[in-house]
Structure formats: structure tokens, C-alpha cells
Amino acid sequence: MAKTIKTQKRWIRALQFFAAYLVAAWTLLQFIDWIVNRYQFSTYWTDMCLWLFVGIIPSVLLYLFNMDRINKRILSLREKIFFPANIILLIISLFIFFGSKDLSAKTSNLSFTDDDGNEESMQVLKEKYRTSIPVFNFEQEIVDSSSFWINWAIPDLLFEDMAQDGNVNPLSLMASSTSEKIEETKSLGDFYVDGSYSITDETYSISPTIRNSSNGKLIASNTFVGNDFLEILDSISIYLRDVTGIDEKKRDLYPDLPLKEHLSFDMKAIKFYVLAINENPVNFQHATEVDSTFAMAYKSLADFLLYWNIGLKESQTLYDKAYKFRKKLPYNQQFEIMLYRHMAYEEWDKAEQMAKLQLKVTPKNLQFQRALHIIYAQTGRMKAKFEFSKINYSLDPLNWNMLCEDFLFMDKYDKAIELIQEVSLAENEKLPYLIKPLLLKGDLEAASNTIEKFNLLYPERSATTKVFADAIVYHQNNDISKKDLSNFEGEFFDKSGQGIRLVWTNKGNLHFSYTNQPYIHTLILIGEDEYIHGFPGIESHHTELARDTQNQIYGLKTSKWRNHGQVLNKGLRWKLDSHIKNAKEYLIKGDFEAAEAFYTTAIAKNPNHKYLVHELAHTKYISRKTNEELLLQYQVIAGQYGSWHVWIEDGTLYLRRGIEPRLELRPMSKTKYIILEMPDLQVEFDFQDNVAAGVFYYKFNTDEMAWQKHANKETSEYNLKD
């Protein structure tokens, strides 16, 4: 009986001390959590301490029950085994659960030198600790086509405003139903934002609603009314962050400029900016014409021109302007401007350094991911590109397409097939993506069966699979491994743009990359002089070597098919050689004597490159003219010709056709001009009584291999001077 009472007392004392242990542990945990939040450490430290305090409870209870004896350093055999075992198991468990976690600070310090030589440093919250706030298009309460652009403007401008806050990962999305919104956001976070708006007598009423991303149920809503659209959006931005747990203390860690200062004070410029994002990128140009300090409009237009290779010099100029006004933008957009500016000037090392620096903080940022892919592709670092694709896929399975293309380049066809089978697409939707790896692998029967299934399910898209079916027949009748692919290799210049297609062989396969594009395409032979590429079911590309009567290859003839048999982008890409490249390089440098020598050789070796004759004529013409004489010549023709604008800037003559990028006009006579970036185009000014009266152009017809004059005064092809 006495022993039982003694045991009960020991348990009561042990439980009293254990209660004190729990209080002390909880207090210490609260203090640790405060330290973690105060100094922006990883929240995993709080979790790890919690499991540490919980994990040693068995040892604590055993010690408290026997503490009189243990304090005298008298331990039983069971205790000698239990205490170390508990600690070892706890350490192993903590290592398993937290060993792969990032236990460093929530923030990362970004230090860099801007292009003006200024050292800059900033603390930035890492991407995984940011709150995702997806914002969908808002619905009109009263249908009015004149204000429909507001439907797009609300999510786009809220994105721009919240992008300043390093606590937030904002998204601007479009969806037409609740099910679509749930599907798009359930993996992004706990909620999404949509809402409605109305405009009455220039008064805006905007009602944002915050909903559960799992079921679409309403979490919170509010209505904001006022006459200033941008000020209302500033208020909504604060409200959304407040409701989603980002209080004023957290918001104050980052700049939060009003939209008017961040983007533009001019509502007309804002409208053009929104229309450019959602309809036509050329509206970025209109936005900058309305507001000459609109940094994001300059940057967005430059991004578009650089990516599609339709104005390299123009993109450089636009990035320069965006860089000039960058200070009113959040740090990540400033980073984007500096990064893509380096890329536009082909400063690959600097661009790579900036991309990697930012990706440490925001590894899922698509802009920086794409930039690094382009850098690797343009510098030929395929292994690095492949490893980067694998990292991106592990971060976000939506990046599977890039990894699939890189698997094809690395000859890992089975891996590509496995990847396609893993992606979250319906089985029918996987069919077109399986065609290429099956064909390249040599499993022609499976590729043929896949095409048949796809065409049966989607007959309206069969035009895009026809060339792949033809490739299967060609591969069945020919030993592709013995083909000489050297004829396909080379650099090919787009006749109506600035992009260069580089074609080369690797391990017996043909590949090509395109200027400022992130993809490396694996090509499939379809004939002795033909290859195909593309995405069956979406669009397919057919390319044939262009040969002259002497069987000399002078370029590539290309065609593109889309659904319903639509043929797009039929054209010619000129093959480049060292003489052509050197001639243009020396011309741009101003070494006219060397340029003339290279052009003379290039014309002799490339008689089908008809545009070279005009570039030589231009070289000879300007070599005989002084800068003063050229300036006088330009002044006579400068002016407005309908939708064509011709002007002089820093001694250079420029042309802008409508809302297209500006082009540099280079004279080869008093009236005729060439455009180096567009070799299929010549511009001629019509003079009457020694006064410029109009302008027309010549276009090179690749089917007839001849220049065609476009000067019908009854059409817009002939523009009279205003």
C-alpha cells in the first residue's frame, strides 16, 4: 500500500513538472516564432522546434518519474538504452522531414550593379513564402461595349499594383465559369478574386469578391465607388492584401506607389496599355506616344519586338527608354528591364548573371525562366539548358513542354514518351504530342496508329498531321541513319525580318534554333531536301531546300499549316555565308572599302541573293557622300506620307509604316532606299519638280525571283506626302 501511494506521488509530481514543461515549451515556442517572424527566418524553424519539444516527451516523462534516482546518476539498463534511442530517432525523423527544407531566411539579399555603375542592394521575400492572389476578369453589371476594356483592366492593373509588394505573387487570369476558376487556382493557394463592375455618369462601382479556391464559396466582398478608376484600384489592392493576411506592417516593407505614379497618370495611355496586353501589342506604341515616361509600355513593346525578331534596333531603343524611367517600377520589373536589355545587346554573360540571381528568389517566374532558356539556346549550352528544364519541371509540371523538346534533342525518346504520359492531360489530348517522339524513336507503326486515332477524333485538325504521316512513309522506305545531313546545315536569314534560323546536326539528327527563342527544335526528314517540325494538332511546319538551276542551295522555302488546312507564312529564308556576314558587319561599322570587297565576292558566290546587289549599291553610294550631303538629301524627303512617317534622328533617316516598328532607311540613290533588316523590301520616293511628292515600294517575289513594284495610286500602297 505504501509503495502504491509513493508511486502515485511520483506520478503527481511528474505530471506537475510535465505541465510546467509544456508551459515553458509553449512559451519558448512562441518566442522562437516571434524571432522567426521578426527577423524573417524560415518558418520551418518553428515547426522543427515544435516537433523537437514533442519528440522528447517520452524521455521527459521517464526522467520526471525517476528524477530522484537519475539525478544521483543512477540509470537502469532500460534508461541507458531508451534516452539515446529517443534522441537518435528524433534526430533521424527531423532530418527526414526537414533535411531537404530551406532553413535559411525567408528573405534573400539581392546585390547588383546597374548599367550606370551604381551598387544596389535589396531584401526580397522568397517566392515560396509569398501569398498567391489570382485575380480573374470582372463582369459587367450593365453590358456596354465602350467600357468592356475595364473587364480586362481590373485584373491587369491589380496585378501591376500588387507586383510592387514582395509579400504577394499576383496573377491576372481569364475564365468564364466558376469551375474554370477553381481548376486554375486550386493548386496556387487558398483563394481567388473575381467580381463585377458598373459605370454610371463617370462614377465607377467595383465589387471585388474573394472566394475559396477549392469550392468557389464566398469568403469576403466589398464595393468601392468613386470617380477615379485608378485610385479605386489602389484601394482594392490594399483591401485584397488585408483580407488575405498581408497586414500594413508587412506591406510597409515594400514600396507601394499609386498606379498613376507606377504606370501612367494618363487614362488614355492606360487604356492603350490594357488593349495591348489583351488584343494587339502595337497599342503599346500608342501608350508611349500619349505618355513618353511610360516605362512598362516601353518594356512590353520591346519584349514583343525582341521575341519575334521584328525590330532589334527598335527593341534596344525601347529598352533604353524603359531603363531610363525604371525607378518607379518594383524591383522585379526593374530586373526584367535590365536583363532583357542585356539580351537585346547580346551581352549574354551579364544577362545570365541577372537571370540566375533573380531565379534564386523567384524560381517559378516565367519571364526569368524563359530568359535563361533563351540565353542557353543562343550560346549553345544544351546540357545546361536540359538540366534547367528538369529543374523547372520539378517546380511546376506545367513546364513539361520545354522538357519534352529537350528530351528529344538529347535523343531520350522514351523519356519524352513517359513525360507525356505523366502530364495532366486527357488521354485524347496526349495523342498529338506522342507523334514526334514515336517517329524519332523509329516506332513507325505506333506513330501511324496515333495519327489515325487523332484524325478520327479531331478531323478538323488533320491538316496539321498530314506532313507527319508523309514522314512516316518516307522513313519506312529509306534508311535515315545513312543520310548525309550536311546540306541542311547553316544560318538562314528571314527575308522579311531579323531572325536567323541556325540548323545543325547532333548525333545524326537535325536541329534548329531561332534568334531570341527558347526552344531547340528537333527536325524530321520527309524527303531528300525536306524536313518538318512543329506540334501536330496545333501547327506543323514544312521546309524545303531552295536550289537554283545549278543545284546550288541558296535558302529555305517554308510553309506552316494550322487547323482547317490554313497555310501561313509561306516564304524564303536566305542562306548566309561568311562573305555576306562580313560585308554587312563592315558596312555597319562604316568600313565601306572592306564592305564593298566582301559584297562583290558575296554576289559572285550567291547570285540568287538579289538583295545583295542593292546593298552593294548602297555601300558605294554613301562612301561617296559626306554626312552633310546625306543630311540635306534626308531633309528633302522627311515628312508624313499618309500612314508612313519619315523623319531624321541623330543624322539617321527612319521610316515607320503605320504602327509597325521603326526601320532605318539607307540610300542607294537620291530616290531609292534599302532596309538592311528587311532585304525583300525597297522604298522609292516619287519626286515632282525636285520635291518629294509620294512614296512607294518594291517587294521581292520569291516564286518569280524578281522585284515587283507597288505603286497603284488608287490604293494605300502609294502614299502621297501630306
Q: What is the mean pLDDT of the chain?
A: 87
User: Alpha-carbon Rg of the chain, whole angstroms?
Assistant: 33
Q: What letter would DSSP give residue 145?
A: G
Neighbours of 267 (CB within 10 A): 13
* 129-256 matches 411-576 in fold: no
Q: What is the pLDDT of residue 495?
A: 66
Contact between residue 554 and residue 491 where contact means Cβ atoms under 8 Å apart = no
**Whole-number Å distance between alpha carbons of 644 and 684:** 13
Q: What is the pLDDT of residue 371?
A: 94
What global pTM score does this model have?
0.79
- Asked if residue 88 has pLDDT above 80, the reply is yes
- Asked if residue 5 has pLDDT above 80, the reply is no
602 confidence band (pLDDT: 50, 70, 90): very high
Helix residue ranges, H only, 606-638: 611-623, 627-637
pLDDT in tens, 353-384: 999 988 887 888 888 999 999 999 999 899 99
- Asked if residue 119 has pLDDT above 70, the reply is no
Q: What is the pLDDT of residue 461?
A: 85
Fold of 411-576: Lipocalin (2.40.128)
pLDDT in tens, 285-323: 899 999 999 999 999 999 998 888 877 888 999 999 999
Extended beta strands in 101-190, E state: 107-113, 119-125, 131-136, 139-140, 168-173
Q: What is the pLDDT of residue 442?
A: 93
Q: What is the pLDDT of residue 576?
A: 94
pLDDT in tens, 232-255: 999 999 999 999 888 888 888 788
Mean pLDDT of 97-109: 66
Contact between residue 413 and residue 440 where contact means Cβ atoms under 8 Å apart = yes
**Whole-number Å distance between alpha carbons of 133 and 362:** 16
Q: What is the pLDDT of residue 254?
A: 81
Q: What is the pLDDT of residue 108?
A: 62
Q: What letter would DSSP give residue 683?
A: E
- Backbone phi and psi for residue 503, each to the nearest 5 degrees, phi listed first: -110, 130
Q: What is the pLDDT of residue 564?
A: 65
Higher pLDDT among residues 548 and 63, named by residue: 548
Contact between residue 207 and residue 235 where contact means Cβ atoms under 8 Å apart = no
Mean pLDDT of 315-332: 90
* Of the candidates 276, 252, 251, the residue with the CA atom closest to the CA atom of residue 264: 276
116 confidence band (pLDDT: 50, 70, 90): low
Mean pLDDT of 17-46: 80
Higher pLDDT among residues 114 and 350, named by residue: 350
Q: What is the pLDDT of residue 320?
A: 96
**Whole-number Å distance between alpha carbons of 667 and 665:** 7
Q: What is the pLDDT of residue 640?
A: 93
- Asked if residue 112 has pLDDT above 60, the reply is no
- Asked if residue 694 has pLDDT above 70, the reply is yes
- Asked if residue 714 has pLDDT above 60, the reply is no
586's grid cell: 563592315
157 confidence band (pLDDT: 50, 70, 90): very high
- Asked if residue 43 has pLDDT above 60, the reply is yes
Q: What letter would DSSP give residue 329?
A: S
* Amino acid identity for residue 674 in this structure: I
Q: What is the DSSP string of 203-229?
A: EEEEEEEEEETTT--EEEE--EEES-H
Of all helices (H) and strands (E), which one includes residue 501?
strand 500-506
420 confidence band (pLDDT: 50, 70, 90): very high
69 confidence band (pLDDT: 50, 70, 90): confident
Mean pLDDT of 117-130: 65
Q: What is the pLDDT of residue 256?
A: 86
- Measured CA to CA in angstroms, residue 371 lies from 335, 343, 454 at distances of 12, 8, 34
Please list, in sequence order, all residues whose beta carbon lies within 8 angstroms of the beta carbon of residue 332, skipping any fewer than 6 positions away: 163, 358, 362, 365
Class of the CATH domain delimited by 129-256: alpha beta
- Asked if residue 18 has pLDDT above 70, the reply is yes
pLDDT in tens, 386-401: 999 998 888 888 889 9
- Asked if residue 110 has pLDDT above 60, the reply is no
Q: What is the pLDDT of residue 329?
A: 87
Mean pLDDT of 6-28: 81
675 confidence band (pLDDT: 50, 70, 90): very high
Q: What is the pLDDT of residue 637?
A: 94
Q: What is the pLDDT of residue 150?
A: 92
Among 309-318, 333-342, 620-629, name the one with the lowest average pLDDT: 309-318
Domain range annotation of the chain: 1-99, 129-256, 411-576, 625-720
Buried b (16+ CB within 10 A) or exposed e, 580-611: bebbbebbeeeebebbbbbbebbbeebebbbb
- Asked if residue 190 has pLDDT above 90, the reply is no
Q: What is the pLDDT of residue 712?
A: 57
Of all helices (H) and strands (E), which one includes residue 339?
helix 331-344
Buried b (16+ CB within 10 A) or exposed e, 213-251: beeeeeeeeeebeeeebbebbbebbbebbebbebeeebb
* Of the candidates 683, 689, 693, the residue with the CA atom closest to the CA atom of residue 721: 693
107 confidence band (pLDDT: 50, 70, 90): low
418's grid cell: 513517359
Please list, in sequence order, all residues whose beta carbon lies within 8 angstroms of the beta carbon of residue 479, skipping any fewer than 6 positions away: none
Mean pLDDT of 23-41: 81
621 confidence band (pLDDT: 50, 70, 90): very high
Q: What is the pLDDT of residue 394?
A: 85
Among 21-25, 296-300, 367-371, 621-625, name the one with the lowest average pLDDT: 21-25
**Whole-number Å distance between alpha carbons of 383 and 387:** 6
pLDDT in tens, 437-487: 999 999 999 999 999 999 999 888 888 899 999 999 999 999 888 888 999
Q: What is the pLDDT of residue 608?
A: 92
